[in-house]
Structure formats: structure tokens, C-alpha cells
Amino acid sequence: MQAITRAYINQQIHCVITFDGQLDARALRCALRALMHVEPELACRFSVRGGKAYWEHRDDIDQIEFLRVEYSQSPDVEVKQYAAMHMLAERDPLVQALLIRSDHGDTLCVKVNHMISDAAGVKKAVALLAELYTRYLADPDYQPPEGSFRERGGSWDLMKKAGLLRTLKGIPTGIPLFPKFQLPHPEKDEEGGEYAIRIIGARQFRKIKSGSKERGATVNDVLLTAFFRSLCRTLHPPRDVPLPVQVSVDLGYLFEENEISPVCNLCGAIYTAV
């Protein structure tokens, strides 16, 4: 499914972390490379041969540069440009990172191809990357354990967990409304694009959380409302035409820890329309 939808949307997931000081670039490079050994599915390429699609383990991992280091006093600009760059699962590494150095500290942007993992899996991969980085800081000669390919979890596993009846009941409600209008989008083969980023600070987040709780809502409710409001102010949709938005749902809670690989696509979606 992710291979199909990448023709219409940017299939990259990004994790951006800022630091007051500087990271050890050598330890970070070692940690990124070690991540491919601990979770070998991240060291694959997407292949289609004879009408069959599958993940193929790469034999050139030692020749790939997973980390790029840039010096800039405008890390936000660099992150936006880096985030807009596409990665092809058939050619490019599924995980790579950009380290931006400025006078105010380091900014690390980790880019993961959505074809190999959803956002929940990326969070787990970044946590593992941090653990490996710490180990290489303490021991530059650290040798990570060689991981093995595991059941990654997918639609079939979810169907077995939910049962056939519940799965069939969920199908009619999962059909989205087709949008009558959309944001401008470049042609399929065009490069470029840009991300609009809004950072919600700790104080503002606490206000959102407190205010939503008083009204019997969740933080997701508030963020989705703000997103709809911004879309309406940007697109100026007619009042009688539904405006659907896809909302991701993490379905990993259905599985026990260590039951499947943490790096996988176990996200569903609901389609909210105003």
C-alpha cells in the first residue's frame, strides 16, 4: 500500500531533535551503521521482479554514507530543504540523517522511508539509535549484536488479531470521501516542495492539554480542529462540500511486546470530514 500511495504523497517520516551542545559525529555515524545490523530490515532495498514485490538485503551497506554534516546558522531552513528531498526505496538507504551545526548547538534530522516503517516504528528506531550512540561514546570499539529478520506485522496479522467478522464490519466505515479540492501539489516527477512547520512550546502545550481536558476533549481533538481551521482559511472551501482529512491510528497496541518487529507499518486511518 505504501508503494502505491508514494505516487501521490511524500513518503518520508522525519524526527528532528535539537541539542544545546554538539554531538559526537563519529559515534553517531557508528550508531547509524549499527542500527542496520541490529534491525536488518532497515538495510534492505525494495525490489519488484517477475511481478513480485519484496525486500532485498543490500550488500553495499559498508559503502553507504548514512550521515551528512552541514554547518549553518539557519538550521530550520536546512531541515525544511532536507525534509522535502525524496528517497527511493529501490535505490536510496531507508534510513539517513542530517546533522546541522550552528553556534547555538546541533540539530539532528533523521529521515526514514515510510515504506519500511510508520511513525511509531520510527520513534522506536530513534530510541534504539540513541542507545547505540551512548554505547559508542563509552566504547568506540563496541560491536552490536547481529539482529535477525522477524515477523514485521501487517494487514494479515491485524486481521488475525481482530477476527474476520470485526474486519468485515470495519471495511464500509473505512471508505474515505474523495476530496473535491486539495492543496497545490507538484507533478509526480518534479523535485522540491517545502514543509510548513509549527512548533508548539511546552507552556502552550500545557495550556492546550488543560483546556481540552476541561471540555472533555483530547489533545488530538484540539490539533485536528486547528488543522481544519487552517485548511479552511487557506482553501476557502464552499460550505456544502465535505472537507475530508486522513487521521493516522497506531494499531501497534494490539500486539504484545516482542511479538513482532518494532520497525513495521501497523498504522490504520480514519477519515474525518467537516
Long-range contacts of 182-185 (CB under 8 A, 24+ apart): 183/234, 183/235, 185/8
Contact 239, 262 (CB under 8 A): no
pLDDT per residue as tens, the chain (274 positions)? 667 777 667 789 999 999 999 999 999 999 999 999 999 999 999 998 888 888 899 999 888 999 999 999 999 999 998 988 888 899 999 999 999 999 999 999 999 999 999 999 999 999 999 999 999 999 999 999 887 776 666 667 777 777 777 777 766 555 666 666 666 655 555 555 677 778 888 999 999 999 999 999 999 999 999 999 988 888 888 888 888 888 888 887 777 777 777 788 888 778 888 8
Q: What whole-number distance in Å separates Cα of residue 47 and Cα of residue 91? A: 9
Contact 37, 97 (CB under 8 A): no
Which residue, 26, 124, 104, is CA-closest to 66?
Answer: 26
End-to-end CA gap in the chain: 26
- Please tell me the predicted confidence (pLDDT) of residue 196: 77
- Please tell me the predicted confidence (pLDDT) of residue 170: 65
- pTM for the structure as a whole: 0.83
Helix axis angle for 119-138 and 25-38, nearest 10°, is 120
Q: Which secondary-structure segment (H or E) carries 52?
A: strand 52-57
CB atoms near residue 29 (< 10 Å)? 18
- Please tell me the predicted confidence (pLDDT) of residue 129: 96
Say how far residue 23 (Cα) sits from the centre of its chain.
23
State residue 23 phi and psi, 5-degree precision. -85, 165
- Please tell me the predicted confidence (pLDDT) of residue 112: 95
CATH topology assigned to domain 2-138: Chloramphenicol Acetyltransferase (3.30.559)
Q: What whole-number distance in Å separates Cα of residue 36 and Cα of residue 116? A: 13
- Please tell me the predicted confidence (pLDDT) of residue 42: 93
Which residue, 166, 122, 204, 154, is CA-closest to 53?
Answer: 154
- Please tell me the predicted confidence (pLDDT) of residue 126: 96
The domain locations on the chain are 2-138, 155-273
Q: What whole-number distance in Å separates Cα of residue 179 and Cα of residue 243? A: 6
